Amino acid sequence: MRCKMLMMIVLAGASMMAAATEVEVIPYGPPPLLNGRESTNEWLYPFVMEWGWNGVLVRLKQDSHFVYIGVVDRDTVHTGLDLYLDNMAGEIMMLHVSSAHGQRRMENGGWDEIIYGPPESWSSNVIESIFENGQMKFLFPDVFEFQIKKVLLPLRTFKIMAHLKRPDKTFPPNSDSLTSDYWFEVELYR
């Protein structure tokens, strides 16, 4: 009996490891409104792939021209997000959103300087601010939403990592911005 139970645990563990290394295919779905507000209709299953860990949800879907990525932390308000993409064609980039947009590319194993300004081939919501009663007030989003042109992702597969800022939280856990070895790998329908 003990041997049979141990074998079941080993098989369950092997099956979970195999599932974790499989490449997920991003489903097609209608585009979300990039307003930073979480709407039940915009990110509705079955039109979305969703991963979750420690309060963080990463959602993906696509249409003919764009990939949409939504990152939300149900437990904590963050003041920015760096979204890392490895397009599997030799280019690794970081897309930054806070109260401004920025982006940078990996060159020779390190990151070049971040360039702030209008995004190239992508868009997202930003953290907005208003002046109210003589004070600056920040309007933090429920979700960081990205719209990325598929021209940035020329192959069927790519990898992603999300780094939520202030406080820091990385998804997938234990991943690193200097190597995409532990990032999520996803596949586009073409």
Phi, psi of 121 (to 5 degrees): 65, 20
How crowded is residue 98: how many other Cβ atoms within 10 Å of its Cβ?
17
- Tens of pLDDT, residue by residue over 134-172, are 999 988 898 999 999 999 999 999 999 999 999 999 999
Domain boundaries, the chain: 24-188
In tens digits, the chain (190 residues) has pLDDT values of 443 333 332 333 333 333 345 688 899 989 999 999 887 678 876 667 777 777 888 999 999 999 999 999 888 889 999 999 999 999 999 999 999 999 999 999 899 999 999 998 999 999 988 899 999 998 889 899 999 999 999 999 999 999 999 999 999 988 999 999 999 999 997 6
Q: Chain centroid to CA 116: how far?
A: 20
Phi, psi of 157 (to 5 degrees): -115, 150
Q: How many residues does the chain have?
A: 190
Instruction: Match 């974790």 to its residue by tokens.
Output: 20
| Highest CATH level, class, for 24-188 | mainly beta
Instruction: Match 């990385």 to its residue by tokens.
Output: 170
Q: Which two tokens stand for residue 30?
A: 């209608």
